[in-house]
Amino acid sequence: MERVTVFDLVCILGAVLSAFYFLTEFAEIQNMRVFGIDSGRPVTAIYTFLQPLFGGVPFVSEYSYAMALGVIGILLVLEATRRTLGLPLMLIVASFIVYARWGFLISGNTPFLGLLAIPELTWPDIIQNLWYNTENGVFGIPVTVSVSFIYIFILFGSFLEMSGAGQWFIDLAYAVTGKRKGGPAKASILASGFMGTISGSSIANTVTTGAFTIPLMKRSGYSPEFSGAVESSASSGGQILPPVMGAAAFLMVQYTATPFADIIILATIPAVVFFFGVWVMVHLKAVQEGIGGLEEETVTLGDHLKRGWFYLVPIGLLLYYLIIERLSVSRSAWFTLVALVALIAVVSAYSRETRGRLLGVFAATVAAELASFTLAGVPVTGLIGGSGTGLPL
């Protein structure tokens, strides 16, 4: 008979506490007494004998459990930022916290630095604004947008790419422009644009398409610097190319109350103009350097469309739900995701490349990187927007 491990006991305890939390009203939790201490009363107000020992220690003598939990939560966010995004970004976030607390020491009459003078803030003000503020805090609008919109679109793009759509779009770009003057660079622009329709991340776009397009551009005669510049520029434009756009588009939905369908329509023309400008630059460079198209045989456009036309169905369906049916962003994405899963199931039945890979996408999409990128910027935006720090900046 196997013994229950400590890890299993911790998981069981966590599950029980989570169930208890969901079954209990917040007011009841707030009024609970833990070790004889009310949630809103200072520690030293209950245990008076601790006053001489902790009388001058912050978060013990003056503040309640709520403040202590806020401090622990913010420290955990900083540590998660350090582990996933590196020490420099964590130090930047921490410096904003230090500035919010002691920035009042800067005199307004100090040359140059006087512009950074801010009102005096106490630790409760900072913790309240960072942890408990539902607009600028950790659980404010950025996290709300990530959970409501960004995550599901990342999931949608990951499923679509896992089904083989990513490579199909890259090959489609080669089929359209491969034999034209400056074909590899133009294929890079189209491939980045196609990938931008299913991925709102310029980094992921660059990594995915650049692995194929940059070596081809270099072999065709473009310099390494120019090849990298074309790929990075085109991939950056993928963030403004509908229907799956960058995080800023979803923040606009939340902050300005503008329907996402209107943002898609308004962003289409600037996106097309952006890619057209990069296209013209690449064409002029190809004429100047005398760079032609690809020498090797490429699949014709008609044959390529016959092989994977169904990859266009989810994108068209998403646009239909958003623009024609005028459904909400989350409902449109979920309905399209359900149709996409059905499509992957059908495609996987006839393709060895995608067969049995449905579970693999979750490991990539539920990674801590998304949460870390979101939470790391929250202390900065929260301190700037909610504590008066933004006025001098």
Tell me: pLDDT of 37 over 50. Answer: no
Give pLDDT, residue 273: 92
> Worst-scoring range by mean pLDDT, 102-116, 181-195, 230-244, 353-367?
353-367
Q: Tell me the three state secondary structure of residue 89.
A: helix
Residue 82 has pLDDT above 60, yes or no: yes
Q: Is the pLDDT of residue 249 over 70?
A: yes
Q: Which residues contact residue 306 at a Cβ distance below 8 angstroms, ignoring those fewer than 6 apart?
A: none
Which token pair is 109?
Answer: 């009459």
Q: Which range among 184-198, 226-240, 267-281 shows the weakest confidence by mean pLDDT?
A: 184-198
Task: Give pLDDT, residue 52.
Answer: 53
* Least confident span in 127-136, 304-313, 362-371: 362-371
Please tell me the predicted confidence (pLDDT) of residue 25.
Answer: 52
- Of 134-143, 195-204, 235-244, 352-361, the poorest mean pLDDT is in 352-361
Q: Is the pLDDT of residue 393 over 50?
A: no
The full DSSP string for 129-180 is IIII-TTTSTTSHHHHHIIIIIHHHHHHHHHHHHTTHHHHHHHHHHHHHTTS
Q: What is the pLDDT of residue 35?
A: 44
Taking residues 145-164, what's their average pLDDT? 75
Whole-number Å distance between alpha carbons of 31 and 39: 7
Q: Which residue has the higher pLDDT, 377 or 149?
A: 149
Q: Which residue has the higher pLDDT, 30 or 106?
A: 106
Average pLDDT, the chain: 74
- Among 43-47, 144-148, 293-297, the minimum mean pLDDT is found in 43-47
pLDDT at 274: 92
CA–CA dist 164, 343 (Å, integer):
11
User: Is the distance from CB of 169 to CB of 196 less than 8 angstroms?
Assistant: no
In this predicted structure, the answer to whether residue 231 has a pLDDT above a threshold of 50 is yes
The residues spanned by each domain of the chain are: 163-358
On whether the CB atoms of residues 42 and 63 are closer than 8 A, the answer is: yes
Q: What local confidence, expressed as pLDDT, does residue 160 receive?
A: 76
pTM above 0.85, yes or no: no
> In this predicted structure, what is the pLDDT of residue 333?
81
Q: Give residue 140's pLDDT band: very low, low, confident or very high (50, 70, 90).
A: confident
pLDDT over 70 at 380, yes or no: no
Taking Cα atoms as reference points, which of 278, 199, 268, 266 lies closest to residue 239? 199
Residues whose CB is less than 8 angstroms from the CB of residue 76 and which lie 6 or more positions away in sequence, other chains included: none
Q: What is the mean pLDDT of residues 232-239?
A: 86
pLDDT at 105: 86
Check whether 157 has a pLDDT greater than 60: yes
- The Cα-based distances of 291 to 107, 182, 239, 352, 388 in angstroms read 60, 5, 29, 37, 55
pLDDT in tens, 268-300: 899 899 999 988 888 888 888 887 766 655 667
The span from the CA of 202 to the CA of 188, in Å, is 13
Per-residue exposure over 78-108, b if at least 16 CB sit within 10 Å of its own CB, e if not? bebbbebbeeebbeebbebbebbbebeebee
pLDDT bracket for residue 91 (50, 70, 90): very high
The percent of residues in the chain predicted with pLDDT above 90, rounded, is: 2
Q: In the 8-state DSSP scheme, what is residue 218?
A: H
- What pLDDT, on a 0 to 100 scale, did the predictor assign at position 23? 57
Confidence of residue 368 (pLDDT cuts 50, 70, 90): very low
Q: What is the pLDDT of residue 372?
A: 45
The answer to whether residues 314 and 334 touch, using CB atoms and an 8 Å cutoff, is no
How confident is the model over 334-355, as a mean pLDDT?
Answer: 71
Residue 33 has pLDDT above 50, yes or no: no
Please name which of 224, 236, 323 lies closest in space to residue 275, comparing C-alpha atoms: 236
Query: For the ranges 5-9, 41-45, 126-130, which has the lowest average pLDDT?
Result: 41-45
Residue predicted with more confidence, 319 or 19 = 319
